[in-house]
A and B are shown apart, each in its own frame.
Chain A
Amino acid sequence: MPSLPMVANLPKGPHYGALAEFATPHELYVACEKVRDAGYTRWDAHTPFPVHGLDRAMGMRRSPMPFIVLGMALIGAAGGFALQYWVHSIEYPLTISGKPTFAWPAYVPITFELGILFGALGAVFGMFGLNQLPMHWHPLFNSSPFEKVTDDRFFISIESWDPKFDAERTRQFLQGLGSRRVELVASE
């Protein structure tokens, strides 16, 4: 594993995969359900805007993000509390406002803020990690029709290392889903 992937770890082959273009979110949605039901596992959908319910049409599992955020938040909160306890009660006890050295209510704001900070860091970097970001280049950029994915076109890409992938049969399958154009995208 490279530390910062320029591109996802791709098995080398002549093709990155098959790319099918659709004109409307509805066509894409229906096609995604069929790709899911055909048993493909290494594939993705690309849209210019979020399409409601697409994750279900694609049969995606729930993201582990909530647990990453919760775990990080708890670590942050525990760390914040422990830091203050160590400073105020062990390493450098000072009497402040006549409070006991272990004055836990005074620790709560920092405990809370560090919980929030770590939770937020977990959310940002967890998202980066799960999406393999930053990724500066991707084989799909080899396709010039794909440029319209940020404008008004909808795409499904099936990767060539999907166990069910077969260049010819997958192309025909995608064409059968009503795609207006299917192409095989080069991997380099």
Chain B
Amino acid sequence: MSHIPATTLRPEQVTLPARHLLARLPVIGLVLAIAGLGLGLSLRAANPRAFAFAWLNAYLFGLTLALGSMFFILIQHATQAGWSVAVRRIAEAVAGAMPIFAVLFLPVLFGMGDLFPWARPEAANEPLMKWKAPYLNTQFFLVRAAVYFVVWSGLAIYYARASRSQDQGGAGTAPSLSMRRFAPPAILLLAITQTFASIDWAMSLSPTWYSTVFGVYFFAGSFVGFFGLLALLVIPLERGPLHGIVTIEHLHDVGKHLFAFTCFWAYIGFCQFFLIWYGNIPEETAFYQARLHGGWRAVSALLAVGHFIVPFFYLMGRTVKRKPRLLAIGAVWVLLMHLLDIAWIVLPGSHPEGLRIGLLEIAAYLAVIGSFLAAVGWNLRRQALVPVGDPRLRESLAFEIS
């Protein structure tokens, strides 16, 4: 019984005004990235190992958000979701930043010897690592990384292009159909590459340790982080240029996803910890040994409380999800916790004594997040903010949670 807007949207009605905060992201992001890169490179000489860890830490934070957006887009197509059409272009703009992560990966390559014990010459004499050498060796690592970037960038570009091809009308429903048909195999491709990437870039930091659920844990963090970012991008648009197109109803659903996936993250995170704690086998417990003693113990506790209990109760109610300001606070909080989660995975390698966010870490964050935001802002500026030619747009505009 809702009022369905009769008029169709034209692309020029839903562009980002040049004076809008998000339209300035490319400039702001570039300035931050250059400052971060300059600071980071000037500090690198003193401690190349710490630089490599700081970079990988910031890199995985940014990358997981982009991967989460790709997953979101694919799921919307696979399920023919109607509600999300009005905000899908924003996810496409985030996923569109994927190619820059191939460039940002270069410092990780230069720091491989510092980051990954298996990449050092002495690994050949380690009994456990010797057995893993057929998988964990530099050549195969590089091939896999190349495959990941081709798959991710290919998916991001294909889905963004196909969606944009409908904007001027005339393309009809054919692009939507092919995007939908390709979505289920694409989800498989993304899930497999993302799982192997998490093994390569995060789990192999301690190559004798393994956890079979690590890929899912990595995905859970990436998805919840993405919804935090999505909320922060959608809120200024709902209050600005997309007012009346993106509504509180869409925000409410984004908030529900944010809530649901904080629970999912906690579920998977606890499962991983619980089985390792119960089994108590030394080669499995090493990961938690490093994180439940010394300075990292407090970070582990903060993650349990801050990444689950606080957002669980904060985001549970209806009011918070329907008040843009309150939802924004929750989204910032969840994003900060995702940042802490990645640091908790990566940084014990360079700072075993505890969490220390020094100049190097900040420089790496600035460089990676700055370039990421610049790319997202550029994508937002150069195209319509809503897929105006999507056949389900009408359904999305009329979307209401009763």
Contacts and interface: CB of A to CB of B under 8 A. Distances in A.
B273 A105 contact: yes
Contact of B1 (A29, A70, A98, A106): A29
A108 B270 contact: yes
A55 B402 contact: yes
B316 A54 contact: no
Contacts of A54: 1
Interface in B123-171: none
A29 B402 CA distance: 14
B277 interface: yes
Interface residues of B, number: 13
Interface string A8-48: 00000000000000000110010000000000000000000
A56 B402 contact: yes
Nearest to A98: B280
Interface in B1-31: 1-2
B284 interface: no
B274 A105 contact: yes
A52 B278 contact: no
Interface string B317-333: 11000000000000000
A62 B270 CA distance: 34
A18 to B, nearest CB: 23
A25 B1 CA distance: 9
Nearest to A70: B316
Interface string A97-141: 110000001101100000000000000000000000000000000
B400 interface: yes
Contacts of A186: none
A53 interface: yes
B400 A106 contact: no
A51 B277 CA distance: 51
A26 B3 CA distance: 12
A68 interface: no
Given A26-B1, A29-B1, A52 B400 contact: yes
B280 A53 contact: no
A56 B401 CA distance: 12
A167 interface: no
B278 A51 contact: no
Contact of A97 (B2, B280, B317): B280
B398 to A, nearest CB: 10
Interface in B378-402: 400, 402
A123 to B, nearest CB: 15
A53 B2 contact: yes
Contacts of A56: 402
Contacts of A55: 402
Contacts of A105: 270, 273-274, 277-278
A57 interface: yes
A51 B318 CA distance: 21
A62 B273 CA distance: 39
Interface in A54-77: 54-57, 62, 66, 70
B402 A53 contact: yes
B1 A57 contact: yes
Given A53-B1, A57-B1, A106 B278 contact: yes
A53 B274 contact: no
Nearest to B1: A53
Contacts of B280: 97-98
Contacts of B2: 52-53
B27 to A, nearest CB: 44
Per CB-CB distance, the 9 closest pairs between chain A and chain B, nearest first, are A53-B1, A29-B1, A52-B1, A105-B277, A105-B274, A53-B402, A52-B402, A53-B2, A55-B402
Given A53-B400, A55-B402, A66-B317, 10 more contacts: A51-B1, A52-B1, A52-B2, A54-B1, A56-B402, A70-B316, A98-B280, A105-B277, A106-B278, A108-B274
23 contacts: A25-B1, A26-B1, A51-B1, A52-B1, A52-B400, A52-B402, A53-B1, A53-B402, A54-B1, A56-B402, A57-B1, A66-B317, A66-B318, A70-B316, A97-B280, A98-B280, A105-B270, A105-B273, A105-B274, A105-B277, A105-B278, A108-B274, A109-B274
Interface of A: 25-26, 29, 51-57, 62, 66, 70, 97-98, 105-106, 108-109
